[in-house]
Structure 1
Amino acid sequence: MKEETLQTIMGLIMNGGDAKSNAMEAIYAAKEGNFENADAKLKEADEALTRAHNSQTSMLTKEASGEHVEMSLLMVHAQDHIMNAITFRDLAGEVVDIHKKIAN
């Protein structure tokens, strides 16, 4: 596996993990009524997902232009992290909104 590909995969895994962690912290903050922090954590999750998306798009562009990207278990794991992080972030936004409504 190329070093560049490995670095991209590790970036996907780390950014996916960061996004999910920030989304969870947003839920905890909302539970405590700290909505300013909850919103900040959701924003941080979005930023991590944007970084992951940019890396993913770079790989997709290479593939589309004819440069083969090697598939591996690590790549599948990275994609799994991203998909779970996106889903978790979406749900965290809804949970934060529910806590805001309950608080009002």
Structure 2
Amino acid sequence: MADESANLSATMGLIVNGGNAKSAAFEAIHAAKVNDFTTADAKLKEADNFLTETHNAQTGMLTAEANGDHAKVTLLMVHGQDHLMNAITFRDLAGEIVDLYKKLAEQK
């Protein structure tokens, strides 16, 4: 059975970094809305960095599972995976919205 404290740490990494990634992506949209594209691009990069951290936490969990170190699936772990999936989706959408605001600004 997997080390419970390592699983908790990885799960919290999913939640915290996933939430931070989503927040940074949201800030990128707000910056683009007021034509602050330097900040928007920086916030998208920040979101990507948080997603990398989140991905690393998830990869550690998946590697342990593949090596036969099975973790007990908890509601907290499922919540962490939800945070990751939502953050990835939101980041992708934020990038598209920022690009749209850039195109609108170029047309003015």
> Which residue, out of 18, 43, 59, partners 1:57?
59
Among 22, 29, 32, the residue aligned to 1:30: 32
Calculate the TM-score normalised by the size of structure 2: 0.94
Calculate the TM-score normalised by the size of structure 1.
0.98
State the one-letter code of the partner of 2:101: H
Kindly tell me the number of residue pairs found equivalent between the two proteins: 104
Letter in 2 for 1:68: H
Equivalent residue, structure 2, for 1:42? 44
Corresponding residue for residue 98 of structure 1: 100
Mapped partners of 2:10, 2:72: distance in 1: 12
C-alpha separation in 1, matches of 2:47 and 2:96: 14
Unaligned runs of 5+ in 2: none
> Percent identity between the aligned chains?
63
Cα offsets for 1:50-101 (capped at 9, x unmatched): 0000110011001001101110000000000000000000000000000000
Aligned alpha-carbon RMSD (Å):
0.8
